[in-house]
Amino acid sequence: MRIGLFVTCVNDLMYPGTGQAVVRILQRLGHEVDFPAAQTCCGQMHANSGYRAETMPLLRRFVDVFEPYQAIVAPSGSCAAMVRESYPRLAADDPALAERVAALAPRVYELSELLVDVLGVTELGAEFPHRVTYHPTCHGLRMLGLGDKPLRLLRGVSGIRLVALDAAEQCCGFGGTFAVKNPDVSTAMLADKARHVLDTDAEVLAAADNSCLAHIAGGLSRMRTGVRAMHYAEILASTGGTR
């Protein structure tokens, strides 16, 4: 299968190792993975802030860039949800564009959806001998309905010791612009999440969105906890080391 990697802005600028991990995973499974260099932001920050007109050129760019692919994978529940859930609504006033979006959006998958639902795999030959807890991020959980797909993949990793995170479904308090607009509430939510992570005694906190991990990791770092934050794709791509 020819798969387009929608790496997303946060990963491209701050966590390129996550995109590289996705490529390694899919190439091991025998798939061709392209990184279209013309891709850009999905426009979620613009749309969530009320800048619809500024979002539309980014939407059109996404359609132009990824339309040729059989499947598009994003290591981000948040950005995959933007395309699948918000693009059809945003494109509704332009029938021609709406038709293209309707054909493309169902082919956009968060990584665990592509692996479990489309490719039918839950074991990838990964090895990661560490104690890990998992935070299910809001968009992946509530908008995409990922359920336990990332956890099913992590359970197939050799040597991993998965420990449940208390109040796992509680938001971390990041939420794109939420943390900027509501700093006091965001800080309180982060404190709750960090406390629950520490209660697990995990070495590593994993999640499906590096934006949430950056937020939680910032709090854990300021507390000097030593807990590492990793996108679960990097664990699935690991073969015994830390990456």
The pLDDT score that the predictor gives to residue 137 is: 87
Is the pLDDT reported for residue 240 higher than 80?
no
Higher pLDDT: 176 or 103? It is 103
Percent of the chain with pLDDT over 70: 98
Name, in order, each residue with C-beta under 8 angstroms of 188's C-beta and a sequence gap of 6 or more: 173
- Is residue 135 within 8 Å of residue 212, measured between CB atoms? yes
- Which H, E and C letters describe the chain, residue by residue? CEEEECCCHHHHHHCHHHHHHHHHHHHHCCCEEECCCCCCCCCHHHHHCCCHHHHHHHHHHHHHHHCCCCEEEECCHHHHHHHHHHHHHHCCCCHHHHHHHHHHHHHEEEHHHHHHHHCCCCCCCCECCCEEEEECCHHHHHHCCCCCHHHHHHHCCECCEEECCCCCCCCCCCCCCHHHHCHHHHHHHHHHHHHHHHHCCCCEEEECCHHHHHHHHHHHHHCCCCCEEEEHHHHHCCECCCC
Q: In 10 A of CB 96, how many CB atoms?
A: 8
Mean pLDDT of 35-61: 94
Percent of the chain with pLDDT over 90: 86
Instruction: Give me the chain's average pLDDT, please.
Output: 94
Mean pLDDT of 70-85: 96
Mean pLDDT of 95-118: 97
Q: Where are the domains of the chain?
A: 2-118, 131-237
Higher pLDDT: 240 or 106? It is 106
> Which class does domain 131-237 fall in?
alpha beta
How many Å apart are CA 206 and CA 223, to the nearest integer?
A: 18
- Is residue 206 within 8 Å of residue 132, measured between CB atoms? yes
Is the pLDDT reported for residue 242 higher than 70?
no
Count CA atoms closer than 13 A to 205's CA, side-chain side: 33
The per-residue pLDDT for range 135-159, each reduced to its tens digit, is 998 888 888 999 999 999 999 999 9
